[in-house]
Structures are given as C-alpha cells and as structure tokens.
Amino acid sequence: MDCYMIGNENTNTQAPAIVCFDIDNFKHINDNFGHDGGDKVLIDITKRLQRFCGTDSVYRIGGEEFVITLSHELVDYSGSVKTAIESIMRCISVNPILHNHEHIYTTVSGGVVTSQTYDALMWAELDENLYLAKNEGKSRIYKDKSLFCHFK
C-alpha cells in the first residue's frame, strides 16, 4: 500500500492513529476449517471492521493482515485511541463466526502508531509493534515498543 493512501480521502486530514493487525492463529483456522472457513473469517472480519470504522478506513494488505486508519470522529466518540482500539478488538472477538454449523472464535494482535508523518520510518515502527505483539501472545496491541492494550 502506498503511504499517500492513508489520509482520509474525504477530508484530506491525517488520521490520529494507524493500526496494523493480524488475525491470531489464522493458520490453525485454515487447517481446521479449510480455506473456505478462512475466507469466511476474512470476509466477516472485514465487514465488522467496515461497519465499525467506515469503509474508507479499512485496508486488507495481504493474507490475514489489515490496516485501519482511525478517524478523528471514532477517536472522539470513543474517548481515546486506546478505547477505540479496544472497541475494535471487542468487535472482532466477542461474537464467533458461524461456518458450517461450527463457531470460529477470533482474536487479533497488532501495532499502532500515532505519527503524523507517513513515511518508511512510520511503517517500520508499525511493523515492529506488530511483531512484538505477535511474539508476546494473542490479543495484544503494541505502541512505542510496549504493551498498549490487551483484550481478554
């Protein structure tokens, strides 16, 4: 994804935060429910995110990895970047996805940056935070190389 795509195209303002996350245990989902089960999870999570964050704020950048630009409206409504992210994690995790009469439970882990400069350094920081979150366990978001929120 090109860096210039990250600003909100409708308002030409910078997002207060960018979140990059992976679906936890996605290989396990594919192995146990088949690729059609994995596809169902990707489609369902995308729809949930678009309903919650808006269609112009959610990007699937490959595999089970997503980028979300948090709008000023969402952050203002939630009260903080952290609360907005916790709400997104809840949106994904609380209700299972039904596939062939079976429930698939999902969580996500990721990184967040609040940089106003969308450049290679920002993307590297975002990727490093994602890497740290994935290595520390499931259902975690890292910011500034430390735990930012953990959804249980």
Residue 6 lies in a domain: no
Cross-strand pairs, 13? 8
Rounded-to-integer distance, Cα 49 and Cα 59, Å = 10
Residue 75 lies in a domain: yes
CATH code for the domain of 23? 3.30.70.270
Residue 77 lies in a domain: yes
Give the pLDDT confidence of 35-48 residue by residue, as tens digits: 999 999 999 999 99
Per the CB < 8 A criterion, the answer to whether 83 and 92 are in contact is no
Q: Which of 9, 64, 73, 136 is catalytic?
A: 64
39: containing domain? 14-150
Question: Does residue 128 have an active-site annotation?
Answer: no
Residue 8 lies in a domain: no
Residue 31 lies in a domain: yes
Q: How many domains is the chain partitioned into structurally?
A: 1
| pTM score | 0.83
- State the pLDDT at residue 16: 83
pLDDT beneath 50: ranges in the chain: 1-12
